[in-house]
Amino acid sequence: MPHANTCPLSQKQLVDEYFMEHRAQILAVAAFLDRLERSQNRDAEDDFRVVAFREALTLLTSGEGERVKRIQMVLSDRDTRLLDERDGQSAYGAPIRGSAPFPQDGGEQ
């Protein structure tokens, strides 16, 4: 591991301090996935955000180091086209795969 021994807390201290917070976050992710599976229209199975989300979950449980860096890259829109024109509210949260991220005619999204 490239960053061994860089956390000043012991594992027990980390668990005591942060377990309940992260338990809640995992339950929120589970609820999101359950709602996706129960939805009436299963029209987002191939949506780039759902694909990236599932890929991030695989990385999360891979047991390999640098999870944050690898997951952040999976969930990052790295397309720099129109960067100067986009505001902070128009990020996609994941790279769009297999389609143009912006309308080809320059019109509104």
What pLDDT digit, counting tens, does each position of 30-78 carry?
999 999 999 999 999 999 999 999 999 999 999 999 999 999 999 988 7
pLDDT of residue 70: 95
Distances (CA, A) of 66 to 24, 27, 63, 73, 109: 22, 23, 10, 11, 34
Residue ranges per domain, the chain? 7-38, 43-76
- Per-chain mean pLDDT for the chain: 83
Is pTM beyond 0.85? Reply is no
Distances (CA, A) of 70 to 25, 56, 58, 91: 19, 8, 11, 19
pLDDT of residue 89: 54
